[in-house]
Structure 1
Amino acid sequence: MNADSGGCRRRLPDDQTALVVEVFRMLSDATRVQVLWALVGREMSVNELAEHIGKPAPSVSQHLAKLRMARLVRTRRDGTTIFYTLENDHIGQLVTDAVFNAEHAGPGTPGHHRDSADLRELHLTTDAEVTAAQRKGFGT
């Protein structure tokens, strides 16, 4: 994000430190990480999240309640359905950075680098390039 380099040198007040520890405590559970990762850039209902991460809806609902109490997610009601989104862009960036960091620990090219290469390849300017990309399976 846009953190200035001098900001990291200041001592955090104890109350802020406690909040940071709480955020990391919320991120110490695999199901909650999966939920937060699924919510980066979109909103989803409990049932959509449960299906997406392969966990029972009641379990996902309990994790969402903890994430909401920790102010990492927020809700929006549409009729009888409640949709969840990340509380702010900083949470999304934190989760994304953690996932990308983990990808670097594995073998081969990290997934986020492969995705970037695919996007660059899709940035095409001529019909011939588009046709060639479609033959490769892109954009179809």
Structure 2
Amino acid sequence: MEKEELQEKIVHPEIVAEVEKKMLSESEFEDLALLFKMFADSTRLKVLKALFEREMCVGDLAVLLKMTHSAVSHQLASLKKTRLVRSRKDGKVVYYSLDDDHIEEIFQKALDHVRE
């Protein structure tokens, strides 16, 4: 019997049962995947980093990131849909900020890992 075939036949039911209890629901995995998808785009990361510093409008972000208003708006819509940013209107101007502090914590943990 080849080593690979032998490995496929070894099962530890108690380990499987223990870990199975701690697995997430399918919808939680899907939500996590969507969150990581938002973090998988360098443009969205730039938008988030800017919003860590302060609330900004589309025009401010467009100038800072050297992007069109349309491109920034598109990224903000994705980030808002996934509840990473929120908006508030002041007259005709819409300002964007982080939805909560967890976002910066996730970003910083990932950055710490990259810098190791």
TM (norm. structure 1) is: 0.63
- Which protein has greater RCO, CA pairs closer than 8 Å, 6+ apart? 2
Aligned-residue sequence identity (percent) comes to 35
Which residue pairs with 1:71 in the alignment?
83
- Segments of structure 2 that go 5 or more residues without pairing to the other structure are 1-20
User: 2:22 aligned with 1:16, yes or no?
Assistant: no
Q: Distance in 1 between matches of 2:105 and 2:86?
A: 16
Structure with higher Rg: it is: 2
Pairing 1:29-44 to 2, within 5 Å after superposition: 29-44=41-56
Offset of residue 98 of structure 1: 2.1
- Contact kept, 8 Å, 1:37 with 1:96, in 2: the verdict is no
Residue number in structure 2 paired with 1:62: 74
Q: Could you report, residue by residue, the CA deviation over 1:92-123 in whole angstroms, capped at 9, with x for unpaired residues?
A: 11122223333x15xxxxxxxxxxxxxxxxxx
Amino acid at match of 2:104: G
Name the TM-score, length of structure 2 as normaliser.
0.75
Q: Distance in 2 between matches of 1:54 and 1:79?
A: 25
After superposition, the CA RMSD in angstroms is 1.6
Structure 1 residue 26: Cα displacement: 0.9
Q: How far off its partner does 1:27 sit?
A: 1.1
Partner of 1:52: 64
> Structure 2 CA distance, aligned partners of 1:44 and 1:70?
18
